[in-house]
Amino acid sequence: MSYVEEVYQNLEKKHPAEPEFLEAAKRILDSLDPIVKAHEDVYRKNALLERFVEPERIISFRVPWTDDKGVNHVNLGYRVQFNSAIGPYKGGLRFHPSVNQSILKFLGMEQILKNSLTSLPIGGGKGGSDFDPHGKSDAEVMRFCQSFMTELFKYIGKDTDVPAGDIGVGGREVGFLYGQYKRLTGLYEGVLTGKGLSFGGSLARTEATGYGLVYITDEMVKGAGKTLAGKTVLVSGSGNVAQYAVKKATELGAKVVTVSDSAGYIYDPNGINFEVLCQIKQVERARIKVYADRVPGSVYHEGEKPWGEKCDIALPCATQNEITGSDAEKLIANGCWCVAEGANMPSDADAIDRYEKARVESGFLFMPAKAANAGGVAVSALEMSQNSERLSWSFEEVDKKLKDIMVNIYKNVSTTAEKYGHAGDFVTGANIAGFEKVADAMLAQGLV
Ligand code: NDP
Ligand code: 2IT
């Protein structure tokens, strides 16, 4: 049995009730096989993979809060501090009813390699709660955030662990969390990223994940001798990542014809209107079906995902496993030749097998999440730099750095894939390129 198989089998025995984590770990370990084989003796001697797959620590706690009617509730809160070999733990907080330890461990493990790919000094972490912000008043969200931070503040800090947003955690939540951290510690420090511009936030952080996704897609498409301009694009989700993917793809001349939420999707043959989308999602916090009432010619498909529509490029920007094997079949049958992941692990294992087959047969392009959506955390790291030097950079400066980072990630991922004999396989390229730096730092720092 190979070293990666041994480590995976052990992990399965230890964590049988964590399917999402096991799935992510298996995919990562499998694709690390070429680099592991090349360094097997050193890695084994240092128990490198055994350490890499276990978080340094997991903090879990209860979060009691009171709703507007005076009824008390208790949610679960977590922070997974996965790996600090190359920098302080860094990664978002997710508030969604599906959140549990397995999902946060999968996200945390992905985050280690993603953060490494940015080339910036940030380790991997993730956290969140099974709290659902949908339908809650601002006051309820504030009380929840204050209670969550009343426990979390003991474990984070600008040089130890720097959370940010993810699903269900945007500018409003980060503001409330920051206020409570400051109140409890008396410190005005860059302990969170994605902050408002008036209290240490970075310009372009709001846009960063969606813009970065489109920058790297553009680079990959160019690498295949094609252009983004004039292409038809499907986007799923209608939150932070989806909104700015729509905006940048449209600016670069593509036509985005879909957005969605968990209840259904919108098809707009004239191209999604970014201003209407933002009014509905950022201002009114309403459901996406409202878009069809506002924009003539658009149609709402209740209970369906957008993957049956014709397109050139698909940018899944909602959640994990939203593209199954049969969705991937539909996409490819309808002419899709490129997928880049804005969400974390949106394609399930069958879908990825399907893309791989199409890559070998006809040059299908696939950029996995840890490379494609790294722009968000990259600009978070730039926010940390600005906070440390107590300066704010201009939008253009941050956007330029973001673009350079995404172009470099593309180069690094594609040359690493080539170096290990997997040219064009960006899954292998991204995992190995991210892992190399983390492995090197872990070996240098000894058995910790
Ligand atoms: P938001 O909360 O802003 O938006 C999430 C969107 O996804 C909403 O449209 C939501 O619909 C939809 N969605 C969430 N859960 C499900 C589900 N189970 N089924 C179908 N649709 C769902 O989150 P973000 O835009 O920030 O995050 C989207 C994805 O991008 C996540 O995978 C996140 O981990 C990833 N990501 C985010 C980054 C960031 O900077 N924000 C950085 C890198 C990755 P509804 O309102 O109906 O729930
Ligand atoms: O998945 C992700 O990379 C994020 N949610 C962003 C993390 C961050 O620290 O900005």
Which tens digits make up the pLDDT trace of 64-115?
Answer: 999 999 999 999 999 999 999 999 999 999 999 999 999 999 999 999 999 9
Rounded to a whole number, what is the distance in angstroms from the first to the last CA of the chain? 26
Number of other CB atoms surrounding residue 422 within 10 Å = 16
The rounded Å distance from CA 134 to ligand 1 centre is 13
The rounded Å distance from CA 297 to ligand 2 centre is 35
User: Is the CB of residue 248 less than 8 Å from the CB of residue 340?
Assistant: no
**Best mutation site among 105, 111, 206 for ligand 2 pocket (most ligand atoms within 8 Å of CB):** 111
Secondary structure letter of residue 2 according to DSSP: -
Q: Compute the distance between CA of residue 379 and CA of residue 244 in angstroms, rounded to an integer.
A: 14
Atom of ligand 2 lying closest to residue 107 CA? 1
- Ligand showing the shortest atom-to-Cα distance for residue 99: 1
Instruction: Give the model confidence (pLDDT) of 314-367 as tens digits.
Output: 999 999 999 999 999 999 999 999 999 999 999 999 999 999 999 999 999 999
The rounded Å distance from CA 31 to ligand 1 centre is 26
Which stretches does DSSP call E strand in 191-263?
232-235, 255-261
Q: Compute the distance between CA of residue 373 and CA of residue 168 in angstroms, rounded to an integer.
A: 17
Q: Is the CB of 166 under 6 A from ligand 2?
A: yes
The reply to whether 126 belongs to the active site is yes
Alpha carbon of 84 to those of 44, 128, 199, 305, 445: distances in Å? 20, 19, 27, 37, 11
Q: Which long-range contacts (CB under 8 A, 24 or more apart) does 279-287 make?
A: 280/238, 281/238, 281/239, 281/243, 282/243, 287/261, 287/263
Q: What is the pLDDT of residue 424?
A: 97
**Best mutation site among 80, 241, 277 for ligand 1 pocket (most ligand atoms within 8 Å of CB):** 241
Binding pocket residue ranges, ligand 1, CB within 6 Å: 165-168, 170, 209, 237-242, 261-263, 317-319, 342-344, 373, 376
- Ligand showing the shortest atom-to-Cα distance for residue 240: 1
Biggest CA-to-CA distance, the chain: 65
User: Is the CB of residue 113 less than 8 Å from the CB of residue 53?
Assistant: no
Q: Compute the distance between CA of residue 144 and CA of residue 133 in angstroms, rounded to an integer.
A: 9
User: Is the CB of residue 194 less than 8 Å from the CB of residue 209?
Assistant: no
- Ligand showing the shortest atom-to-Cα distance for residue 162: 2
The rounded Å distance from CA 346 to ligand 2 centre is 15
Options 105, 114, 126, 305, the catalytic residue:
126
User: Quick one: pLDDT band at residue 185, thresholds 50, 70, 90?
Assistant: very high
Q: What is the DSSP string of 387-438?
A: HHHT----HHHHHHHHHHHHHHHHHHHHHHHHHTT-TT-HHHHHHHHHHHHH
The rounded Å distance from CA 242 to ligand 1 centre is 8
Nearest to 250 by CA among 268, 232, 263, 262: 232
Instruction: Give the model confidence (pLDDT) of 365-397 as tens digits.
Output: 999 999 999 999 999 999 999 999 999 999 999
Q: Compute the distance between CA of residue 95 and CA of residue 74 in angstroms, rounded to an integer.
A: 14
Helix (H, G, I), strand (E, B) or coil at 117: helix
